[in-house]
Amino acid sequence: MKNGALRGIIQFILALAVVIFLDKFYFLLLGKMNFKPTGSLYSVMYLVKFIIELVVVVIIYHGEIFAGKSRFNKSLLSSSIIALVTFIVMVVFTLILEKVLPGFGINANQEFVNYFAHSMNFDSALQMIIKCFLKPCLYTSIFVLGVSNIISREYLAMLISGILYGVFVLFMMNNLHVNSFLQIIIPMVNIASLSYLYKSTGNIYTCFITFILYNLCGGLLLSYIL
């Protein structure tokens, strides 16, 4: 095994371990310190959890992430266009999956939230920040960048990243049921698509922006398509 692949495996395991540990024990540890937030304070602390996770993951992958920012700035227009086109393709593909696999628990309207169609309160605004900004950067860093650092072959990295993310989503679910295995199809396809995008462009920031657009504007685009 090459040193680069070994380093990539260590980075991936460490990043994933931090995310899983904080997800399972973050609020438990706060409770041990007699701090049990409720209401809006809970939402704030939930946001803080994801910020901590993202900071740690950025530290782990700092070399690749900062290098990607430099490459993105040098090709800002073309990278932005690629991100926009990929975002539209991913939304359309989500709709296609819904039509091709009827009755399989795939619902495009449930996949997206149209944040521009209604007003938000403080708690929902924090949830939007988590889903539309923190989660895309966090999971893209781990499952797209992280897997690509281990596997050099384009299509193999694409396949493995999608599978690993699907397993991760299943593991993080509180209540598993039959439809759980069907509901991970779209997340798996999305991460696999972003992995292909990263391998094609070599720019992780293009993947960040694509995933952010998908979560933030997918509902808005869907309202125009349907």
Distance of alpha carbon 60 from alpha carbon 213, whole angstroms? 25
Q: What is the pLDDT of residue 219?
A: 86
pLDDT of residue 109: 57
1-43: pLDDT as tens digits = 567 899 999 999 999 999 999 999 999 999 999 999 999 999 9
**Looking at the predicted structure, is the pLDDT value of residue 88 above 80?**
yes
SS3 33: coil
Task: Return the pLDDT at 94.
Answer: 86
pLDDT band of residue 111 (cuts 50, 70, 90) is low
Q: What is the predicted pLDDT for the residue at 95? A: 85
Q: Tell whether the model's pLDDT for residue 108 goes beyond 80.
A: no
For the cut 80, the answer to whether the pLDDT of residue 176 exceeds it is no
Nearest residue to 42 via CA among 137, 135, 122, 115: 122
Compute CA distances 215 → 5, 18, 128, 132, 133, whole Å. 31, 23, 9, 5, 8
Neighbours of 175 (CB within 10 A): 5
Position 61 pLDDT exceeds 60: yes
Kindly state the percentage of the chain with pLDDT values over 70.
92
126-174 per-position pLDDT tens digit: 999 999 999 999 999 999 999 999 999 999 999 999 999 999 999 988 7
pLDDT range class, residue 180, cuts 50, 70, 90:
confident
Biggest alpha carbon–alpha carbon distance for the chain: 53
Domain that holds residue 41: 3-225
CA dist 218 and 214 (Å) reads 5
The set of residues, in sequence order, having a beta carbon less than 8 Å from that of 128 and lying 6+ positions away, is 113, 115, 120, 216
Q: Kindly report which listed range (72-76, 86-90, 147-151) carries the lowest average pLDDT score.
A: 72-76
Confidence band (pLDDT; 50, 70, 90) for 226? low
Which residues, 6 or more positions from 194, have their beta carbon under 8 angstroms from its beta carbon?
A: 140, 144, 161, 207, 210, 211
pLDDT at 107: 57
The reported pLDDT for the residue numbered 141 is: 98
Task: Please tell me the total count of domains within the chain.
Answer: 1
CA distance 5 to 180: 32
Residue with tokens 């449930």: 110
Q: What is the pLDDT of residue 42?
A: 97
**The pLDDT value given to residue 173:** 85
